[in-house]
Amino acid sequence: MPETVAPPQAIAPLTIRMHAADNVAIVANDGGLPPGTALPGSGLVLRERVPQGHKVALVDLPRGTPVLRYGIPIGHALDDIPAGSWVHERLLQMPEARGLENLPMATVKPEPLPPLEGYTFEGYRNPDGSVGTRNILAITQTVQCVAGVTDFAVQRIKAELLPRFPNVDDVVALEHGYGCGVAIDAPDAVIPIRTLRHISLNPNFGGEVMVVSLGCEKLQPERLLPPGSIPLVDERNVADVGTSAETRLDVVCLQDDAHVGFMSMVDAILRQAEEHLERLNARRRVTVPASELVVGVQCGGSDAFSGVTANPAVGFCTDLLVRAGASVMFSETTEVRDGIAQLTARATTPEVAQAMVREMAWYDDYLKRGSVDRSANTTPGNKKGGLSNIVEKAMGSIVKSGSAPISNVLSPGEKLRHKGLTYAATPASDFICGTLQLAAGMNLHVFTTGRGTPYGLAAVPVIKVATRSDLARRWHDLMDINAGTIADGTASIEDVGWELFRLMLDVASGRKQTWAEQWKLHNQLVLFNPAPVT
Ligand code: CA
């Protein structure tokens, strides 16, 4: 837990040290601190200006000394660094990534967390047992070629049909860049294909699958959604058993001979949409236990506060969710790679730990094929925000996973079928991570940001958590929760964690909308395609 040197008044110098062994602390004050500032309690005087979120040396650090944050070396001093100096990335030699051999496998056996009972939300129970937090008609597409036509049809559905179906929240075209010109039989093509398949089956779409296809594309409808991939759960589907996959799938194929003219295609999409809208409109929210939440957590636009305020609060909330029997996914492989030993130790079984190693090894190799490594992750904004390198960023990112045992691992694009804490392997890219967590079946998304991003998804509510009060003030109509209060000393990690938990139940129930929902800020789906294109 962070040790905060509390200021006697609001403008006093404020630094935060995360671990008793740390030989650096970060400056919390808005605008940073000028040279000559005396840090209360330590007798330390700043030798130079230190920007907000950046590190100050608490002791003399001779060349070669490990620089410790979160109690672990985030680098070694490249030069003698006197106490009171600004410790920035140019003064640090980043450590090598830990190898994937001889890791502690399922060695941590924590006391089971006490169950958290009695929390519920109002959700849409689906025939397959999953629960939606929104009631949305999704239109699946097999290929990018149909995107324009589908979008045209969606505008008409919204204008002409949706007003008649007030219980339906939205109509969403699942647009993507895949399907044409792809090496469809490449081994890694399984990732984008199953991602699209599983997104179509996201709980917020109520099991109503309709597809728009061009006709000549590599990704044919029956390959995207083969017979049996859609659960046979109601009379309609049972009656359709034995008919062709196209019939069961409700496919509008634009190259079909029956279509004469553009409007014929659009009208066909509208006719199909109306049937699905009627069924979706008949659904009602029912009270369900909090264990039906499937939460994806991620961060983007991180700064040095991410790992001090927002991510620890999310981690506390992750533990609350696991205690309530819910499903939580954390992801972003390059941002947890440096903490692999912590993660394998926290696995419930050696098999789960081994699955994590398998995903990390696959990703190491994927990066190597592109002639880069994990150090390619940090952005100019991360560094400006005080994060020197990926090791420091990773230590702050992992805390989103809280302290619960890790009981399950997903490969990219797989569907989540377990309660508890899951490591869902994804790239750290915000849109790709969000897209893969959608495929896994998340019905609520939590996103922390320090630099600030207006990120949002059309399919699932996104709750955004600001790491700093300055960002929360400036982006007051984009950030849903301010975790900067933790650095200000006006709230604890536990306070913000509970605030987030309660907000999640309100948002999941539809009682509250997130800012991204209110403004309809929808980022594109971005598929992870490690396979070649032709
Ligand atoms: Ca991210």
Ligand 1 centre to CA of 58 (Å) is: 31
317, 504 Cβ separation under 8 angstroms:
yes
In a domain, 325, yes or no: yes
Q: Does residue 382 share a domain with residue 495? A: yes
Q: Does residue 478 share a domain with residue 455? A: yes
Q: Does residue 494 share a domain with residue 441? A: yes
The count of domains in the chain is 3
Q: Does residue 312 share a domain with residue 275? A: no
Q: Does residue 471 share a domain with residue 395? A: yes
pLDDT given for residue 517 in this prediction: 98
Q: Does residue 83 share a domain with residue 144? A: no
- For every residue of 52-74, DSSP letters joined together read TT-EEESS-B-TTPEEEETTEEE
Separate counts of helices (H) and strands (E) for the chain = 16, 22
Ligand 1 centre to CA of 377 (Å) is: 10
pLDDT given for residue 163 in this prediction: 98
pLDDT given for residue 2 in this prediction: 52
pLDDT given for residue 3 in this prediction: 54
Tokens of 478: 């984009």
Q: Does residue 509 share a domain with residue 421? A: yes
In a domain, 361, yes or no: yes
> Which ranges of the chain have pLDDT less than 50?
1, 6-10, 233-247
Ligand 1 centre to CA of 350 (Å) is: 28
In a domain, 426, yes or no: yes
In a domain, 65, yes or no: yes
Q: Does residue 173 share a domain with residue 145? A: yes
Report the CATH number at residue 263.
3.40.390
Distance from C-alpha of 445 to C-alpha of 447, rounded to nearest angstrom: 7
pLDDT given for residue 8 in this prediction: 43
For 242, 289, 291, 318, 326, the CA distances from 120, given in Å and listed in that order, are 40, 4, 8, 16, 11
Q: Does residue 454 share a domain with residue 320? A: yes
Ligand 1 centre to CA of 300 (Å) is: 4
pTM: 0.92
Q: Does residue 227 share a domain with residue 188? A: yes
Q: Does residue 148 share a domain with residue 29? A: no
Show the domain range for 169: 136-282
In a domain, 125, yes or no: no
Ligand 1 centre to CA of 74 (Å) is: 20
In a domain, 459, yes or no: yes
Report the CATH number at residue 84.
2.30.130.110
Q: Does residue 384 share a domain with residue 413? A: yes
